[in-house]
Amino acid sequence: MIQQGFNYQNVFHHIKDALCEVNSTDHCLGHPAIVRAKSYVDGSAITTTDNETYSSSGGAAQFCVNNFVGFPGTCEPAIQNMSLLPDCIFSVYFAGNEVLGSAAGVALSGTGSTDLTDAGTATASYKVYNLHLTIEAIGLASSVYDNVIASEIASAGYVSVPFKNYFSYTDTHSGSTKFSIATMSLDRVWVSVRATAFDTSQRIVAIDGYKVSGAFVSTAAASYTGGFDVGKPDYDLGGVFDTNSEKYTTAYFNFTAGSTPTFQLQLNGSYIPSFKASVEELWQISKNSVPKYHSGKPMYITLDQYRTNYFAFCIRLNLPSDDVRVLSGLDTRSVALQGYVNSTGVATTSNMTIFAEATSQLRVGAGRQMNVVI
């Protein structure tokens, strides 16, 4: 077992994208936006409460997951000689139906009782067809690499492969949520807050500032009869920060913390920061804590959107050294580390999900021997 994986990896992706202000989902072979009336995948129209469907015939594969965290996406060096290891099994576990959205219709929000943001009567579900994995393999027509590896194992006893390890914790937050971890390098703590019914409502949520009902064009000359609602941005009619468009998320991925909350991380007797931080302060702390190498399409987040749709924060406990292989986080193996996320001004029925990011080491020795130091 190199890495046991962790629950809510999908939630972690959304947290990381929000705080790094990118959308890391591929726009061609991913599904980064919710479709309202016409699919950008195959151009098909969606009416009333029809399902979003895509053909599975002929081995069709419309979507691709290409952004992994943990060992597959963060091991260094990124190219691994798998002949040094026993047979490796890569397991993928899919999320439940609670991550989906069920809508009462396809109209813009604010039109009536059959809008996209009104709850549908049916439970949404999904199926996956034609699943397969493509792996890049590199062959070297030289024994130089093999000799270097053999020399390192002979001198040090093993070859070290560091990688990012993640541990998740979730609970109903009532002012304080606890977590515990033993690792040689605790690098970051990521935290998100969601409303009570995040995993039961399947509601689709309109992101603040983007288009809702209210601007019309007419299909009749010199008349406003037969008007068509093209929507208007919640922010200025020009749509500042690219909000002159539609943008939605589901209740499962809508992070919100209330109007005036404060948060503080407690590690045994130490408090980080040393004061109860506001939403604005947490955003700035997070910007100084997230990795700088995260790539993707830039995404603009306003303070209003951060409070209502993207609220999460990150506290870094290591040196800003994501581009080099170094262990600089907290070593919590010799102490019974008890961590708490304390807050004020947060609804006592809110869900809090915590991710502890650590650097672990895979040590590969002779004869396909291996062990993992967490």
Tokens 């009532």 correspond to 174
Residue 4 in any domain: the answer is no
With a CB cutoff of 8 Å and minimum separation 6, the contacts of 223 are none
Residue 2 in any domain: the answer is no
- pLDDT for residue 78: 81
- Domain range spanning residue 277? 9-373
Domain tally for the chain?
1
- pLDDT for residue 342: 96
- pLDDT for residue 255: 96
- Give per-residue pLDDT as tens, 226-241: 678 888 999 988 888 8
- Give per-residue pLDDT as tens, 319-355: 887 666 788 899 998 888 899 999 999 988 899 999 9
Could you write out the DSSP letters of every residue in 167-234?
EEEEEEESSEEEEE---S-EEEEEEEEE-TTTTT---EEEPTTSEES--EE-SSTT--TT-EE--EES
Whether 190 contacts 355, CB under 8 Å: yes
- pLDDT for residue 72: 85
Quote the tokens at residue 221: 């000359």
Residue 28 in any domain: the answer is yes
- pLDDT for residue 222: 67
What's the pTM value of the predicted model, to 2 decimals?
A: 0.92
Residue 1 in any domain: the answer is no
Count of CA atoms in the C-beta half-sphere (13 A) of 32: 17
Residue 292 in any domain: the answer is yes
- pLDDT for residue 226: 63
Residue 227 in any domain: the answer is yes
Quote the tokens at residue 281: 């302060």
Residue 3 in any domain: the answer is no
What is the length of the chain?
374
- Residues of the chain predicted below pLDDT 50: none
176-180 CB contacts, 8 Å cutoff, 24+ apart: 176/340, 176/341, 176/342, 176/343, 177/340, 177/341, 177/352, 177/354, 178/338, 178/339, 178/340, 179/339, 179/340, 179/341, 179/354, 179/356, 180/336, 180/337, 180/338, 180/339
